[in-house]
Amino acid sequence: MFKKILIANRGEIACRVIKTARRMGIATVAVYSEADRDARHVELADEAVLIGPAPSRESYLVMDRIIEACKATGAEALHPGYGFLSENEQFARRVEEEGIAFIGPKHRSIAAMGDKISSKALAAKARVSTIPGHNAPIESPDEAVKIARRIGYPVMIKASAGGGGKGLRVAFEDKEAFEGFTSCQHEARASFGDDRVFIEKFIEEPRHIEIQVLGDAHGNCVYLWERECSIQRRHQKVIEEAPSSFLDDATREAMGKQAVALARAVDYQSAGTVEFVVGRDRSFYFLEMNTRLQVEHPVTECITGLDLVEQMIRVAAGEKLAFTQADIRRQGWAIECRINAEDPFRNFLPSTGRLVKFRPPPEGDGVRIDTGVEEGGEIPMYYDSMIAKLIVHGRDRNGAIAKMREALNAFVIRGIASNIPFQAALLAHPRFVSGQFNTGFIAEEYPQGFAGTAVPEDPDFLLALAAAAHRRLRERAAAISGQLPGHELRIREDFVIVLTNRDGQREHTPVSVTSNGPEVQVSIGGRSRRITLDGALRDIVIHGKFDGRPFCAQLERVGHNYRIAHDGVTIMARVLAPRAAELLALMPVKAPPDLSKFLLSPMPGLLVEVAVQPGQRVLAGEKLAVIEAMKMENILIASQDGVVAEVAAKKGDNLAVDQVIIRFE
C-alpha cells in the first residue's frame, strides 16, 4: 500500500480523498493555487505545494507542476479527483511514465472512452445497447418509411445540417415518417442548402441513469447498482439518487451486465461510470463512459457500504477486489443535492464572495456533508460553483426525501447566494415525490425560471410562524426589569401580518395571538393553529411543531421584518399593530430607480471583453460585453436599441454585482 499520495484537485473532492487516505494511514499532499492558499483542503492535508496563480489553466491544469510536486514530496501515487485533468489521457500516461501510480484507469482506457464516436463503436462491438439509427443520407420517403419500421417507432427524422429546431420531425407511424421526411428535406434545403436527412430512434420521456462499475488489474469487474440522474438543469445534474425508482430488477441487472461488458472490453481498472438514456418503456441505450470518480458517488457508497475512493486506491496499488458481484448489497435509499454558489432568483447566475455564515445540518443519523469550505472562507470566481454536497440515506425513498427536506431547511448559508431554496422546492414538488419525472422535468415545471413563490403545503404555516416568533420576542421584551411604572410593555393579542411582493403590493392578514406556556395559538382566517418553538430565535434554524406535526424552518430578523424560509418558499413578513398597519397602507411605495440606461454586471466576475465603444449605436440583441465567472463565459446583450454614452469598465476588471459597465444616452 502507498505511504503517500498527492491529490491533483481542490475543493470538496480533495477533502473527500484526504478523509479516506487518513483513515487508511496514508499521508497526503495537497496542491493549491494562489486563490486557494487558505482553502480547507490545504489545511487538512499533511503537506501542500503551491502550483501557480489563481486561473486553473495556470495552476490545476499545468501537468508539469503537478508531476514536479509529486517528485518533490515523494508521493508514490496521484488521485486526480474529477474535473481538471481527471479524464486527460495524456496526463494519465505521463504520470504512469514517471513511475507514479495513477489512481484511476489506465491511459489506454481513458483514450478508448474519450471519443464519442469510437466509444459507441466499441460499445456496439461489446454488445452494449446503442441508440438505433441510420446515419447515412436517405434517398426517398419510401426508404425513410422502411428504415423507420426497421428501427421501430417513434423515430426522429433529422436534417444533417439542421439546427434551431429546423429540419427535425418526430414520427410515430408510416404516414408521419413519409411526410416528415419530405418536410425535413425541403426545410433543410431552403434553410441550409443541404438536404441530407438521417433517422434515429426517438427516446420518449428520457431518463438519465448511470451504472457504477469497479474493475481491478486481475480481470475482476463488478457493477455497484445504478444512480438516477434525471433531475437536470441545462444538462447539469442537480439531484441524484440511488437506486432508481423507475427500474425493475430485470432492467437493473441487464444494464449492470452491459456496463461490466463495456468495462471489460477496455480493460478498465478503477471506478468508472457507464451512462445510459432510458426510455419510458425501460429500453436503454449507451451514452458515454466517464473514466473517473463521479460527483454523485456518495449515493452509491450509502446503499452499498463501500468506500469508492478506498477501492480506487487499493486497485491502483495492485490489490484484487475483495468481493464478488453476489456480495454487493443494496440497502436503503440515498439522495444527493449539489449545493452551488448561484442565485436561483437571478436565473442561477454565479455568486462569489465570503461565506459570512456556513452552518450545514449536523452529520449523522443518515446525513452526510462533503464540502471544501468553512465559515468565513471565500468562494472564488475562478472555479466551479459547488459549495458542498448534501447526502442523506434513509430506509426507503419517502424516508430519504423527508430527511433531505429537513436537512435543506436546516442548511444555513449567508454572504453569498445558494441554490438551496430551489433544491428545497424540487424535493417538495409532487412530481419529484411521485417519481414521475424525466430529464425535461425542470424545464417543464420552471419554464420562466425559479421565483420561490410556490404555494406551500399549508399557506397558514409561514404566517403563523411569523406571528409566534413576534409574540415570543414581545414576551421577552416585557420581561426586562426596570421598566417605568405605569409604562410597562403590554403584550397585545391582535396583529396584522404584512407581506410585500416584488412590485411593492402589500397583502394584510389580521391574526390573533395568545400564549399558553410553550404553545402559541394563532388564529388566522377564523381558524386556530397551534405552534411551539424549540430553542432560541437567535439560532436562525427553528425546530418545533405546527398543529402537532414537527417542522424545521429558518427564521431571522431583518430590520423590521421576519425572513422565513421553508421548503423553497421565502417570505418577508412584518408583524404590526392594527393601527400601524393602517398607517403603513397609506405610505407610498418607493419606485425602484430607472436603470434602463445602464448595463450592470449581473454577477461578480472578470470582464474579458467589451464589444462596444462610446458613440456607437447598438441594436437589441447585439453583444455588449462578456463576463467570465466560475469557468463559464456569460455574454451580455442589449435589451433595446440605443447609443453608448460611456464605457465605465475596462477589459480585465474584476466586477461586483450590479457594477456599471456601460451607460447609454
Q: Which residues are designated catalytic?
A: 288
Assigned C-alpha cell, 648? 465605465
Nearest to 395 by CA among 450, 340, 333, 475: 333
Buried b or exposed e, range 558-597, using 16+ CB within 10 angstroms:
eeebbbbbbbbbbbbbbbbeeeebeeeeeeeeeeeeeeee
Residue 499 parent element (H or E): strand 494-500
Give the residues across from 240 on adjacent strands: 336
- Helix 174-192 to helix 141-151 angle (10° resolution) is 120
The DSSP annotation for 98-150 comes to: TTPEESS--HHHHHHHHSHHHHHHHHHHTT-----EE-SPP--HHHHHHHHHH
The DSSP annotation for 505-557 comes to: -EEEEEEEEEEETTEEEEEETTEEEEEEEES-GGGSEEEEEETTEEEEEEEEE
Q: With 0-12 CB in 10 A as exposed, 13-18 as middle and 19+ as buried, what is 410?
A: buried
Cell 455564515 maps to which residue? 357
Q: What is the DSSP letter of 58?
A: G
Q: CA 287 to CA 83: how far, in whole Å?
A: 19
3-class SS string, 306-340: CCHHHHHHHHHCCCCCCCCHHHCCCCCEEEEEEEE
Assigned C-alpha cell, 176? 408521419
Which three-class secondary structure state does DSSP give residue 270? coil
CA angle, residues 624, 625, 629, in degrees to nearest 5 = 150
Q: With 0-12 CB in 10 A as exposed, 13-18 as middle and 19+ as buried, what is 517?
A: exposed
Assigned C-alpha cell, 532? 411551539
Contact between 521 and 513 under an 8 Å Cβ cutoff? The reply is yes
Assigned C-alpha cell, 449? 425560471
Contact between 605 and 594 under an 8 Å Cβ cutoff? The reply is no
Contact between 185 and 178 under an 8 Å Cβ cutoff? The reply is no
- For residue 556, the one-letter residue type is E
- Cα distances from 283 to residues 206, 243, 251, 287, 555, in angstroms, run 10, 17, 8, 13, 47
Residues 6 or more apart whose Cβ sits within 8 Å of residue 444: none
Cell 440511488 maps to which residue? 242
- For residue 252, the one-letter residue type is R
Phi, psi of 254 (to 5 degrees): -65, -45
Assigned C-alpha cell, 265? 472490453
Residues 6 or more apart whose Cβ sits within 8 Å of residue 576: 495, 496, 497, 498, 584
- For residue 531, the one-letter residue type is I
